Amino acid sequence: MFETRSIAKTLIAGCTVVCLSFGVQANVMVGGSMESQALGSYASAGFTFTSTGNWSVDPLSIVNAENGATPLDGTQMLRFGAGGGGQSDVYNVVDVSALAVAIDTGTATADLSAFFNGLGVENTSLSLRSYSGAEPTGANPVSGGLFTNVDFQANPLTDSNTSTWEEFSINNYVIAAGTRYIAVGLHSARASASYADQVTLTISSDAIPEPGSLAVFGLGLAGLGYIRRHKLH
C-alpha cells in the first residue's frame, strides 16, 4: 500500500510541476556561459551553422579572470577581440527547430539577456536575427541576407568598474513563423578590454503544450483517479 501511495504522490507532483509551466518556456542558449569553448584566442574564421554552440565571426578570446574581472559564472568568460581596438561583433547560432510547432504559431517570443563588463565605459549592444531555411553550411549568419527579423539594441554602456557586471537584454522578440535558427549577437566598441558572460536566450509560448507535458499530465490525472478510487491520503 505504501508503494502505491508513493507512486501516486509522485505522479501528482509531476503533474503539478508540468501544469504550472504549461506551455513552453526554456533557455535554449548553448555556450552562453563561455565554459564549453576552449580557452584561447579565435581569429576571424567566418562562421558555419555546424559551429552552433561556439562564438565566432570577429576575433575573440575565451579567458579566465584577468584585469580585475572575474567570470560571472564558472571560470571562463568571453573577451572581445584578440588584441588591439575597434568594433567587435561575435555571434552564436542557436538551433530552435525542436520548438518548430510552437514557433510556427507566430506567437512565440524570445528574451535575450547578456552580462557585459569592461575596463572602461564601453559602448556595447545586442542583436537577434532569425533564419527560416534548411540548415546551410559554410555560411556567415550575418552576410548575404540569410538572417532577417533583426532586433538590435544599441549603446547600452558598461561602467569602468571591473568588479561589477552589467546586464542588458532584448525582451519580447517575436519569433517569425518558420524560424529554425536564431543568431545571437554580442557587440562591443572595445576601446579597452571588455567582456561578456552568462548569455541566456529564453523562448516562451503559451500556444502549444509539449507532447511530453501532455503525457505526464495524463499520468497525473490517472494518479488522481487512483487515489480517489482507493481513498488514499
Which residues of this chain interact with Ca ion, rule CB under 5 A? 33-34, 71, 73-74, 76, 117, 159, 161, 164, 197
How far apart CA 195 and CA 174 sit, in angstroms, is 28
Would residue 74 be called left, alpha or beta, if left means φ above 0 and alpha means ψ between -120 and 50 degrees? left
Q: Which distant-in-sequence residues (6+ apart) come within 8 Å of 207 by Cβ?
A: 23, 102, 105, 107, 108
- Distance from chain centroid for Cα 8: 35
State in angstroms the smallest separation of the CB of 92 from Ca ion.
Answer: 14
- Cβ proximity to Ca ion: between 64 and 97 the closer is 64
CB of 118 to Ca ion, least distance (A): 6
- Is 140 or 192 the residue whose CB approaches Ca ion more closely? 192
**Is the Cβ of residue 66 or residue 73 nearer to Ca ion in the bound state?**
73
Least distance (Å) from Ca ion to the CB of residue 113? 14
Nearer to Ca ion, 23 or 156 (CB): 156
Residue 180 grid cell: 529554425
Q: What is the CA radius of gyration of the chain?
A: 22
Least gap, CB of 167 to Ca ion (angstroms): 11
- Smallest distance, Ca ion to C-beta of residue 187, A: 17
**Quick one: which H or E segment has residue 195?**
strand 194-205
What span, in angstroms and rounded, lies between the C-alpha atoms of 155 and 152? 10
Nearer to Ca ion, 55 or 91 (CB): 55
Shorter beta-carbon distance to Ca ion: residue 13 or 39: 39
What value, to the nearest 5°, has the Cα angle with vertex 229 and ends 226 and 231? 95
Nearest distance in Å: CB 55, Ca ion:
12
196 near 78, Cβ under 8 Å? yes
